[in-house]
Amino acid sequence: MRYPVRKAAHIFERVGLAMAGAACGLFVGAYVGSAIPVLTTQGFLLLMMALGAVGFYLGIDTPQLPFDEAHSAIDAAEFLSSAGTLCATLTALASVAVIVLRLDPHLAWTWLSLFGWVGGVAMQIVAGAKARMRK
């Protein structure tokens, strides 16, 4: 009886992480799309949300290597996951701040936000795939 409940709890957690990633992608997409007219499309918003959902679903809850002498090197998947999560969420936080505070930053900051978001979720996706391939 405990196993199905634990499995359901894990699925709920992962779906919640995917929804958080999609929300972050929506914020970044709204900020970037409002500053770069070519990216003001629903498709761009959906792409940003999908990248966030996949990245947060795969990358935040990666299986870790056992901690022993045989695995004493740096776990690349764990490092990529944490760096990607930091980069993606920092970009989302900055995007929300720009939207809420009605700031008008230089266009270079907008491009940096776009690349920071895409880079962060890409690191999460690669980390999640790498960690699951080693099982």
| Mean pLDDT score, 19-34 | 96
Structure tokens at 20: 């958080």
Global pTM value: 0.86
User: Residue 68: what pLDDT?
Assistant: 65
Q: Which of 37-41, 42-46, 56-60, 104-108 has the lowest mean pLDDT?
A: 56-60
Nearest to 131, CA basis, from 81, 69, 84, 56 = 81
User: Residue 71: what pLDDT?
Assistant: 61
Half-sphere exposure of 24 (CA within 13 A, CB side): 30
Answer whether residue 64 shows pLDDT above 90. no
Residues 6+ apart with CB under 8 A from 70: none
Q: Is 129 exposed, middle or buried (0-12, 13-18, 19+ CB in 10 A)?
A: middle
Domain with 96, as residue range(s), is 2-133
Report the number of distinct structural domains present in the chain: 1
Residue of higher predicted confidence among 35 and 1: 35
